[in-house]
Each structure stands twice: as C-alpha cells, then as structure tokens.
Amino acid sequence: MTSRIRIATALACVGLALPSPSATAGEEREIELARELMSLTGEDDAGVTAAAGIISQMKPSFPTVSDEEWAEVARTFSSEEMIEMSVTVYVKHFDESELSQLVDFYRSSLGQKLLQRTPAVLNEIAVIGNQWAQAKMQQISKKLQAAGHPLRNR
C-alpha cells in the first residue's frame, strides 16, 4: 500500500473510531438489546454503507489512486466500529425496558411491516411535501408581489 493510501486510511479510521462502550454489569443487557435492535432494523451494516460513501467522495480528490488501492481502503472499514458507536447512542437515549419493547416491536409482524414499507412511505411523503412546499412558495410569492415587492429573476 502506498504511503498516501496509508495516511488517508488512517485519517478516515481516526475520524470514525470512538472508544467502544465500557459496559457495567447493568449496561450489558442494554448493549445486547441495542445491538439486536440495530440488527432487526438493518442498521448493523451502516459501516459498509458509510465506507462506500466516504470512498466515492474521496475518489475525485485522489485521481491517481487505483481501484485496487481503493478496494484496500474499503477493507479497512468495519461495520463493528459503526455498531459500537451507535450502540452508545441507543443506550444513552433508551433504558433497558424501552430497548426491550423496541426489539419486541421490530420482531412483531407489525414491526416487520413498518420496516418493509417505510422506504415507500417516506418516498411518498417526500413527494407530497415537495408539492406542498412549491404551492406555499407560490402563494407567498404572489402575496409579496401584490404587496409591492418585486420578484428578482435569477
């Protein structure tokens, strides 16, 4: 591996790596539940997804790096790093009982249905939200122009 790739890899890892949670006996169950929740919701592969995004953003800045070198950089990413960081956030915001209820919900048929349908629901909401925003902007624009404020063309 070239020294430039080693440096870029080290910087990327330092930027993402946080200390793993040091669990007390009471937190161990919360950590276990948070990990299970992440697995059920598909969040446990976020590190791999993040790696692809980071590399695609960096590629234009390093045009002399070969695909083989980028593949080597990609292998330095670990989903486990991202999971450990995310687990600490879940444990911070939810207690053991709440995490247990969330896990139970996502194990249920309704929880599975929510996971399956959420992308379509969010896409539809984005479309109607955009349409609503466009209509509101037109209404505001008309009112402002009627009040004597000229519309500047770009």
Query: Closest Cα to residue 62, out of 1, 8, 6, 3?
Result: 8
Name, in order, each residue with C-beta under 8 angstroms of 88's C-beta and a sequence gap of 6 or more: 18, 21
pTM higher than 0.75 for the full model?
A: no
Spatial separation of the C-alpha atoms in residues 96 and 119, rounded to whole Å: 28
Q: Show me where the domains of the chain are located.
A: 3-107, 109-154
In this predicted model, what pLDDT tens digit does every residue of 81-107 receive, in sequence order? 889 889 999 999 999 999 999 999 999
In this predicted model, what pLDDT tens digit does every residue of 19-36 receive, in sequence order? 344 557 668 999 999 999
